[in-house]
Structures are given as C-alpha cells and as structure tokens.
Amino acid sequence: MKRLHLIILIFIATTGYIKSQSCSSCRVSSFNYLKYSELDKAKEQSDFCISCEKSKTDPRVWYYRGMIYQNIHTSKDFKKLDPDAADKAFEAYKSALVLNFVEPNLQKLDIINSPTDQVKFITALNDIKTKYVDSDMLVDILQNQYPALANIFVNKGVEEYQTNKNYEKAYKYFENSLFVSGMAMKIDTPVIYYCALAAQKAKKYDEAKEMFEVLIKLSYGANDKEKSGNYFFLADVYKSKGDTTKYINTLKNGIDKYPIENTALVVELINYYLSTNKTTEALNYLELATKNTPDNPTYWFAKGSLYDANLKDPVKAIECYLKAIELKPDYFEPNYNMGALYYNDGADMLNKANDINDEKKYKEAKAKAEAKLKEALPYLEKAHQIAPTDLPTMESLKSAYYRVGMQDKSDAIKKEIEALIK
C-alpha cells in the first residue's frame, strides 16, 4: 500500500513537472512546428500556450501565434483547420504589439477599438525612451507581417463584397486591412474606397461619409471622372441620411470642381429638381452642362426631354433631340422620343381631320397628318433597329405604318410582336 502511494505521488509530481515544462516551452515548440510547416501541431501548441498563465502574457507567444494562423489561412493543406485563421492572426498580432511594451500601462492599450489608445500607441513608438521585450519582433510585425495580412483582408473583403454580397463582413475586412496598413505607416487609398463602398452598402452611413470625405480631400481617382464619383457617392450618403441640403450642396460642389467629367452629378441633380418640380433649376443646370460639355449626348437628350415633357416646347425639344442623335446616332431614347413627338402630332392632326365635314378640307388635313406621321417613321425605325424587342416602339411603328397606309409593314411588325409575346 505504501509503495502504491509512492507511485501515485511520483506520477502526480511528474505530470505536474511535464505540464510546467510544456507551459514554458510551448512557445518554442509552436515556432519549431511553424518552421517545418507542421501547422496542425503548431496550432495545437499555440492554443495551449495562450491558455497557460505563465505564457499568455508573453508577447512572443502571440507573435508566433499570429504567424501560425496567418500561414494556416494561406496554406492549401491546412486552411481547413480554422476558417477564421486570418481574424485570429489579426488578434494575435494586436496582443503581441501591446504586450511587447515593458511599461504595464501600455500593455493595456486597446489599439483596435479606441482611437485614443491608437494615438498613445503611435506616440510610444515614436518615443526613443520606450522599452520593448523584443524590438526585432515589433519591426517584423509592422514591416513584414502586417502588409501581408493587409492583402489577405483585402482579398477576403472583395470576396464578401462581390461574391457573397455580405457588405457588413466586407466592410469589416476592409477596415481591418486599413488598420494594419495604418499601423505599418501606409495609406492604402484604394482600400479606403472599397471600405467606403462597403460601408454605404451596409448602411453604415456615418462611416461611409467620413471615408468619402477623406477620398475627396486626397483627390482619389485615376481621372476627373473617377474623382467626381466620390462626390456622387458622398451625396448619395447624405440623401440616405435624409440631409437634402448637404445632398444638393455636395452635388453642386462636385460639378464646380469637375465641370467637364461630372455627368452622373449633373443628371442626379437634374433628376432631383425634376422630381421636386423645380423645372427652372433643372434647365439652368442643363444649360450649364451643354455649355461645358457640348459633345455629351446625354445632356442634350435630358434637355430635350425637359422641353418636351415639362415645358411643352416641341421646337426646342426637337432641336435638342437632333443634337443628341447627331452626337450618337445609335442613341435609342432621343430616336424614340423624336418618333413619338411626330407620331403624337400626326395622330392628333388625323383625329381632328376626321371631324371635318368638308371633303376637300378633310383630304388636305388628312394629307398633312399623314405627312407628319411619315416624319415619325425614320426615327421609330431607327429606335426599333437599336432595340428590336422594345414593345412600345413596335406598337407605335405598327400603328404609324397602318395610319399612312403601309399595311404590309404594319402586318410584319404585328407578327414580330406576336412572336415576342408568345
């Protein structure tokens, strides 16, 4: 019995010693497994290390953990070990950085969630008096590991944004990428742009607003068209927030800043004015638009539509439509609208002619009506050529052919319509 007790005591003492040894040496073991690409064993050792009281405050434990999980994420063979490996690497490096400070107060910094603590962290890095547990580790994280992790988060963000349409996750990954790039003293403006778009899609309007404002200050974009796009997105954010004043002012600021490449801004502003029955304001901006960019067919079409639908001035409407068609012959909308103008006039004239009792006057009025309807045909035919399955165009063309006595062509269009709607 005494011998049994002695064996039990030896076993307890031995296992306690082994655990103690494992706790103190797991950091080295995890690194060695990482070195030889045995990531499953490296992960096991790292997971044990952070649960151990003696090692979980060691910055090098977290440093190795960051590299282990970062390698798991990029590995084809071990990627399935943890689908959140990149996120765990991110958290591990954060812990490594703050625990690397010798000063206890600095070890408590929340550099991810607290802007104040981020400033304290940067201040400490720039202070030559700051002491570290391992300065080489600090340099490696900021100069080597973080840039690689930033790229990982960008790729994950793009996947969530484009493939999964999970804008909340995409925003988080882009935000993480910006964080690690910032800690490495780099400004990645394309990622700010991606992050802003994701924030807007995720309805994080305050975050989106701040980032688009930064992009505007940095004049981000390959050309003036892309740069003006930042004003468009910022305006849309204000619109989503219900701030009409800032929405309009942002559009106007973008138009003033980029008087040539601002099509989207002008169209947005004009549509707003039209939707609020501010026809004069809409016309003023269209006049400015056609003056600054006279070769832009969209502006001429919009101007023609305004004269056509709102101001009831068919002469000026036709003038603008013709200019749009001259600049872009295969532009469907002005071709269709021109055809519709002539068709409606001709149909109205024909209806009035039918009310005339005098045979001679009736024939004269009917001839004028048919002549007007024939003016519609080239434009409706062109519109049909551009958009061969557009039903309103086909219906108008069928009716126009019938009214001017072109029965064969009317029947042909009728067959096209019947084939389309089967």
Number of neighbours of residue 24 by Cβ within 10 angstroms: 14
pLDDT reading at 342 higher than 60:
yes
CA distance 217 to 47: 44
Q: In this predicted model, what pLDDT tens digit does every residue of 349-365 receive, in sequence order? A: 999 999 999 999 999 99
Contact 306, 282 (CB under 8 A): yes
Residue 31's pLDDT is: 94
Q: In this predicted model, what pLDDT tens digit does every residue of 211-226 receive, in sequence order? A: 999 999 999 999 999 9
Q: Which residues contact 368 (CB under 8 A, 6 or more apart)?
A: 349, 353
- For residue 14, name the pLDDT band (cuts at 50, 70, 90): very low
6 vs 227: which has the higher pLDDT: 227
Q: Average pLDDT of 289-305? A: 90
Q: Which residues contact 153 (CB under 8 A, 6 or more apart)?
A: 86, 90, 173, 174, 176, 177, 180
Q: Which CATH class is domain 134-220?
A: mainly alpha
Same fold, 26-100 and 134-220: yes
Q: Average pLDDT of 277-291? A: 90
SS (H, E, C) 180-210: HHHHCCCCCHHHHHHHHHHHHHCCCHHHHHH
Percent of the chain clearing pLDDT 70 (strictly above): 94
CA distance 323 to 274: 22
- For residue 260, name the pLDDT band (cuts at 50, 70, 90): confident
Per DSSP, the three-state class of 101 is strand
Q: Average pLDDT of 264-274? A: 90
Percent of the chain clearing pLDDT 90 (strictly above): 84
Report the sign of the C-alpha dihedral through residues 33, 37, 40, 42, in that order.
positive
Residue of 230, 164, 235, 229 whose CA lies nearest to 202? 164
Please state the φ and ψ torsions of residue 8, each to the nearest 5 degrees.
Answer: -65, -45
Provide the total of helices (H) and of strands (E) in the chain, helices listed first. 20, 0
How far are the Cα atoms of 3, 100, 115, 142, 186 from residue 96, in angstroms, in the given order? Answer: 48, 6, 19, 11, 20
Contact 97, 141 (CB under 8 A): yes
Residue carrying structure tokens 């006039």: 345
Residue carrying structure tokens 């977290």: 62
CATH architecture label of 26-100: Alpha Horseshoe (1.25)
- For residue 289, name the pLDDT band (cuts at 50, 70, 90): confident
Residue 202's pLDDT is: 98
Q: Which two tokens stand for residue 37?
A: 């690409």
Q: In this predicted model, what pLDDT tens digit does every residue of 63-93 receive, in sequence order? A: 999 999 999 999 999 999 999 999 999 999 9
CA distance 94 to 180: 9
Is-above-0.85 flag for pTM?
A: no
Domain edges within the chain: 26-100, 134-220, 329-422
Residue carrying structure tokens 């950085």: 97
Mean of per-residue pLDDT scores for the chain:
92
- For residue 264, name the pLDDT band (cuts at 50, 70, 90): confident
Q: In this predicted model, what pLDDT tens digit does every residue of 133-188 receive, in sequence order? A: 999 999 999 999 999 999 999 999 999 999 999 999 999 999 999 999 998 888 89
- For residue 23, name the pLDDT band (cuts at 50, 70, 90): low
pLDDT reading at 36 higher than 90:
yes
- For residue 304, name the pLDDT band (cuts at 50, 70, 90): very high
CA distance 264 to 402: 40
Q: In this predicted model, what pLDDT tens digit does every residue of 101-127 receive, in sequence order? A: 999 999 999 999 999 999 999 999 999
CA angle 389, 392, 396 (to 5 degrees): 115
CATH architecture label of 329-422: Alpha Horseshoe (1.25)
CA distance 392 to 399: 11
pLDDT reading at 278 higher than 50:
yes
Residue 7's pLDDT is: 39
Q: In this predicted model, what pLDDT tens digit does every residue of 236-255 receive, in sequence order? A: 999 999 999 999 999 999 99
pLDDT reading at 205 higher than 90:
yes
Residue of 198, 238, 190 whose CA lies nearest to 214? 190
pLDDT reading at 17 higher than 60:
no
Q: How far apart are the first and last CA of the chain?
A: 96
- For residue 24, name the pLDDT band (cuts at 50, 70, 90): low
Per DSSP, the three-state class of 309 is helix
Q: To the nearest 10°, report the CA torsion of 315, 319, 320, 326.
A: 150
In terms of Cβ atoms closer than 10 Å to its own Cβ (0-12, 13-18, 19+), residue 415 is: exposed
- For residue 16, name the pLDDT band (cuts at 50, 70, 90): very low
Residue carrying structure tokens 């549509």: 271
- For residue 57, name the pLDDT band (cuts at 50, 70, 90): very high
CA distance 100 to 13: 33
